């Protein structure tokens, strides 16, 4: 299918989608080979590092960062955030000692601080602002306080609150998102809602958020969500209806990612029918 669009923007987008799906499933070499004609090695490595961080392989993620020619500091930020959520901030020195590039190890120790100690943000309210306090409260599950601060200060990145809130209060999270989010935050929030609803097996809600996302940000913005919806839907109901939906998507990117989601579901789990 992609070969029909070789050399075009559509073909490039489809190849990127497949490369990112490969590294998201742990196949770094396959992703790099797929993306080689595009010259986006660092983008592929970054996605793979994020996959490693999500699985708790911080040493692996830092080794991946050492292979990057640019934007390796984004991996450092993500490692810091993950260590903070795990309460493992004291591992920074240990992790840095395992890095072979001593210059990058020093940069890691410096950059990681920006995301490593947000738990102390309430003592730095004047410096970091009340919205950061609200975002931090939400990450800890203190939603009443987070919502109150966010509403009072009209915090721009409301998705930092509504995304975790959606898991326990989907109606309240949607109300907050639609009332206060700017266009960019609304799109991010709708995408998160769709993915979360799909993971819970609530396909009708996932599709509602998916279509709203398209209305807000355009069809090209929703291709990764199409993958999540198609995967969860296939696992729940089998491929027949999902295939019809996937092939009717309005863009090549959406069709490609939806089909990838179906393939992942069929390859890793048995649908009920």
User: Is residue 190 in a domain?
Assistant: yes
Residue ranges making up the domain that contains 238: 182-273
In a domain, 177, yes or no: no
- Up-side HSE of residue 195: CA atoms within 13 Å toward CB? 15
In a domain, 241, yes or no: yes
Residue 14 has pLDDT above 60, yes or no: yes
Q: Does residue 257 lie in a domain region?
A: yes
Residue 143 lies in a domain: no
Do 99 and 209 share a domain, yes or no? no
pLDDT of residue 198: 94
206/104 same-domain check? no
User: What are the DSSP E strand ranges found in the chain?
Assistant: none
Query: 7: pLDDT confidence band, cut at 50, 70 and 90?
Result: low
Residues 1 and 112 in one domain: yes
pLDDT at 55: 84
| pLDDT, average across residues 58-64 | 95
Mean pLDDT of 25-29: 85
* Last residue of one domain, picked from the residues 62, 93, 116: 116
Query: Are 34 and 110 in a shared domain?
Result: yes
- Considering only 17-26, 59-68, 168-177, which range has the smallest mean pLDDT? 17-26
- Which of 6-20, 70-84, 232-246 is most confident? 232-246
Q: What is the pLDDT of residue 2?
A: 58
Residue 180 is predicted with a pLDDT of 84
Rounded (to 5) percent helix, strand, coil in the chain: 80, 0, 20
In a domain, 125, yes or no: no
The Cα–Cα gap between 31 and 191 comes to 24
Do 110 and 196 fall into the same domain? no
pLDDT tens digits for range 86-135: 888 889 999 999 999 999 999 999 888 877 765 444 444 444 567 777 87
Q: What is the four-CA torsion angle of 46, 221, 191, 196, rounded to 10 degrees?
A: -70
* Burial annotation 49-74 (CB, 10 A radius, 16+ → b, else e): bbbbbeeeebebbbbbbbebeeebbb
CB distance 35 to 26 below 8 Å: no
At 3, is the pLDDT very low, low, confident or very high (cuts 50, 70, 90)?
low
pLDDT band, residue 1 (cuts 50/70/90):
low
Boundary-marking domain end, from 91, 116, 141: 116
pLDDT of residue 157: 75
Say how far apart CA 199 and CA 236 lie, in whole Å: 10
Number of domains present in the structure of the chain: 2
250 has pLDDT over 50: yes
pLDDT of residue 193: 94
**Residue 6 resides in a domain:** yes
Contact 149, 130 (CB under 8 A): yes
Question: Where among 64, 89, 116 does a domain terminate?
Answer: 116
Mean pLDDT (the chain) is: 83
- On whether both 110 and 9 belong to a single domain, the answer is yes
pLDDT at 264 over 80: yes
Non-local CB neighbours of 189 within 8 Å, separated by 6+ positions = 158, 159, 162, 163, 177, 181
pLDDT of the residue at 88: 87
Q: Tell whether 101 and 199 lie within a shared domain.
A: no
Is residue 249 assigned to a domain? yes
Alpha-carbon dihedral 77, 47, 222, 135, rounded to 10 degrees: -20
Contact 75, 65 (CB under 8 A): yes
DSSP state, 69?
Answer: S
pLDDT at 119: 46
What local confidence, expressed as pLDDT, does residue 11 receive? 67
195, pLDDT greater than 60: yes
110 and 200 assigned to the same domain: no
pLDDT at site 123: 44
């Amino acid at each position: 299918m992609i070969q029909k669009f070789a050399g075009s923007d559509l073909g490039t987008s489809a190849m990127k989608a497949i490369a990112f799906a490969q590294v998201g499933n742990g196949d770094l070499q396959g992703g790099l080979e797929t993306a080689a004609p595009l010259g986006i090695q660092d983008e592929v490595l970054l996605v793979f590092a994020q996959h490693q961080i999500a699985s708790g392989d911080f040493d692996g993620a830092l080794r991946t960062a050492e292979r990057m020619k640019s934007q390796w500091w984004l991996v450092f930020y993500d490692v810091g955030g993950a260590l903070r959520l795990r309460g493992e901030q004291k591992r920074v020195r240990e992790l840095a000692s395992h890095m072979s590039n001593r210059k990058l190890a020093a940069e890691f120790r410096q950059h990681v601080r920006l995301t490593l100690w947000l738990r102390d943000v309430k003592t730095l309210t004047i410096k970091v602002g009340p919205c950061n306090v609200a975002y931090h409260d939400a990450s800890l599950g203190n939603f009443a306080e987070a919502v109150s601060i966010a509403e009072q200060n009209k915090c721009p990145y409301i998705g930092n609150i509504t995304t975790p809130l959606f898991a326990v209060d989907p109606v309240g999270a949607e109300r907050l998102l639609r009332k206060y989010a700017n266009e960019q935050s609304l799109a991010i929030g709708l995408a998160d809602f769709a993915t979360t609803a799909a993971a819970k097996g609530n396909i009708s809600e996932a599709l509602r958020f998916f279509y709203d996302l398209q209305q807000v940000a355009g069809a090209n913005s929703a291709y990764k969500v199409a993958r999540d919806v198609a995967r969860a839907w296939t696992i729940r109901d089998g491929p027949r209806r999902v295939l019809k939906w996937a092939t009717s998507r309005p863009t090549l990117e959406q069709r490609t990612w939806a089909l990838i989601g179906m393939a992942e579901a069929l390859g890793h789990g048995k649908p009920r029918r």
